[in-house]
Amino acid sequence: MTSPDYDHFCRLIRQKSGLVLTPEKAYLVSSRLAPLARAEGLGTVENLLALLRAGASDALVQQAVDVMATHESYFFRDTAPFEQLANAVLPPLIAARQTQRSLRIWCAACSSGQEPYSVAMILKEMGPKLAGWKLDILATDMSEPILRKASTGLYNDFEVNRGLSPERQTRWFKRETDGWRVSPALQQMVRFRPHNLLQGSAGLGVFDVVFCRNVLIYFDIETKRQILDHVRRAMAPDGSLLLGSAETVLGVSSAVEPVPGLRGLYRPTDGAASRSA
Ligand SMILES: C[S@@+](CC[C@H](N)C(=O)[O-])C[C@H]1O[C@@H](n2cnc3c(N)ncnc32)[C@H](O)[C@@H]1O
């Protein structure tokens, strides 16, 4: 599918979300837009693309952006980042924050919530080391429908069987008629809020740890660089950034640098942790 309407749609999606669509993605675009075209009574994807080019409502544009985003996520995705959080990131932070006794963690592009709830489980499982601390997990995504799902804390059998050990499922979830509900103890640690990574990080505050995983892969290099700069500005000097296993800053940004031996873990290039390393 190549047409002025398709080219306009690619520009629109890039402008709204950063997501890069190329002519080779036409099949993906078509399969994801078809249900929306039917739901809107437009019949075909071509009609939907034409309407989006002619001038559609903000709500329809937002729906089209949402369906083009990949929301795949699961608990303790890739395992290693969560082990690094527990074993390499939190111990020095706990030592450094003994006076404030507070930690802030940002899950940027959190999708349906499995990532921030996994982080909450790790924090809870630190036991007495974090007892009485103020723990704030901010979980953001550009998609409001996926945030609504995340904030219910309700997952089906398939979702709880992806990445969760039976022990964690028993400890942190309760069976309900519609699925498995995250315990209130974890839910109250996580705040969900809409946020588009293209809009920078002003107003979000400063974070000790940032998870920005499996989202940079969808952007072009300049967008990745801008987002990494924004993320760096939102990090404490001794903070940590965790990226996805297919993501790297090499050749993209010098705002953060890899922590040797810990794949996917980054520290601010000019940060306190880097200076003392
Ligand atoms: C594949 S999911 C990653 C979820 C989670 N971080 C993980 O690793 O499992 C990508 C998420 O990025 C979100 N996203 C895409 N572009 C975004 C943007 N410009 N700003 C904020 N979120 C965005 C999508 O809505 C989607 O929920």
Q: Please tell me the residue having the least CA distance from ligand 1 atom 7.
A: 73
pLDDT at 277: 42
Instruction: List the structure tokens of 274.
Output: 């880097």
Determine whether the shortest distance from the Cβ of 238 to ligand 1 is under 6 A. no
Residue 84 CB less than 6 A away from ligand 1:
no
Q: What is the pLDDT of residue 2?
A: 65
Go through 71-105 and write b for each residue having 16 or more CB atoms within 10 A of its CB, e for each that does not: eebbbbbbeebbebbeeebbeebbeebeeeeebbb
Q: How far apart are CA 183 and CA 206, in angstroms?
A: 27
β-partners of residue 107 are 139, 211
| pLDDT tens sequence for the chain (277 residues) | 669 999 999 999 999 999 999 888 889 999 999 999 999 999 999 999 999 999 989 999 999 999 999 999 999 999 999 999 999 999 999 999 999 999 999 999 999 999 999 999 999 999 999 999 999 999 999 999 999 999 999 999 999 999 999 999 999 999 999 999 999 999 999 999 999 999 999 999 999 999 999 999 999 999 999 999 999 999 999 999 999 999 999 999 999 999 999 999 999 997 655 554 4
- CB-side neighbour CA atoms (13 Å) of 158: 2
Ligand 1 nearest atom to the CA of residue 195, by list position: 21
Amino acid identity of residue 69, one-letter, is A
Say which DSSP state 151 is in. H
Ligand 1 midpoint to CA 99 (Å): 34
Answer yes or no: are the C-beta atoms of 104 and 136 closer than 8 Å. yes
Length of the chain: 277
This prediction's pTM = 0.95
Amino acid code (one letter) for 65: V
Please, what CATH class does the domain formed by 4-68 belong to? mainly alpha
Tell me if 198 CB under 6 Å of ligand 1. Answer: yes
CB crowding 32-45: b at 16 or more within 10 Å, else e: bbeebbeebebeeb
Ligand 1 mean position, distance from CA 17 (Å):
10
- Indicate the top mutation candidate among 142, 149, 218 to test ligand 1's pocket, ranked by most ligand atoms within 8 A of CB: 142
Domain boundaries, the chain: 4-68, 80-276
Class of domain 80-276: alpha beta
Burial class (CB in 10 A: 0-12, 13-18, 19+), 169: middle
